[in-house]
Chain A
Amino acid sequence: GENVEQHPSTLSVQEGDSAVIKCTYSDSASNYFPWYKQELGKGPQLIIDIRSNVGEKKDQRIAVTLNKTAKHFSLHITETQPEDSAVYFCAASNANFGNEKLTFGTGTRLTIIP
Chain B
Amino acid sequence: ETGVTQSPTHLIKTRGQQVTLRCSSQSGHNTVSWYQQALGQGPQFIFQYYREEENGRGNFPPRFSGLQFPNYSSELNVNALELDDSALYLCASSFTGGNTEAFFGQGTRLTVV
Residues 79-113 of B at the A interface (beta carbon under 8 Å) = 90, 92, 94-97, 100-107
Closest to A43 in B: B104
Residues of B within 8 A of A49 (CB): 100-101
- Are B94 and A101 touching (Cβ within 8 A)? no
CB distance from A41 to the nearest CB of B (A): 8
Interface size class of B (residues with CB under 8 A): 20 to 34
- Given A99-B96, A100-B56, A101-B58: A44 touches B101 (CB 8 Å cut-off): no
Query: Can you list the 10 inter-chain pairs with the closest CB atoms, starting with the nearest?
Result: A104-B42, A43-B104, A101-B45, A98-B96, A95-B100, A43-B106, A99-B94, A44-B104, A43-B107, A99-B31
Seen from chain B, the residues whose Cβ lies within 8 Å of a Cβ on chain A are 2, 4, 6, 31, 33, 35, 40-45, 48, 50, 55-56, 58, 90, 92, 94-97, 100-107
List 21 A-B pairs, Cβ < 8 Å.
A32-B100, A42-B106, A43-B4, A43-B105, A46-B102, A49-B101, A89-B42, A89-B43, A91-B42, A98-B55, A98-B97, A98-B100, A99-B31, A99-B33, A100-B56, A101-B33, A102-B33, A104-B44, A106-B42, A107-B40, A107-B41
Residues of B within 8 A of A46 (CB): 101-104
User: Which of these, B40, B48, B90, B104, contacts A101 with CB under 8 Å?
Assistant: B48
- In the assembled complex, the Cα of A34 lies from the Cα of B92 at a distance in Å of 13
- Are A105 and B42 touching (Cβ within 8 A)? yes
Please give the number of chain A residues whose Cβ is less than 8 angstroms from any Cβ of chain B in the complex: 26
Residues of B within 8 A of A44 (CB): 43, 90, 104
Seen from chain A, the residues whose Cβ lies within 8 Å of a Cβ on chain B are 4, 6, 32, 34, 36, 41-46, 49, 89, 91, 93, 95, 98-107
Closest to B40 in A: A107
Known pairs A99-B100, A101-B48, A102-B33; list 15 more (Cβ under 8 Å): A4-B42, A34-B102, A41-B106, A42-B106, A43-B2, A45-B2, A46-B103, A93-B100, A98-B55, A99-B96, A101-B33, A101-B45, A101-B56, A101-B58, A107-B40
- In the assembled complex, the Cα of A87 lies from the Cα of B50 at a distance in Å of 29
Residues of A within 8 A of B40 (CB): 107
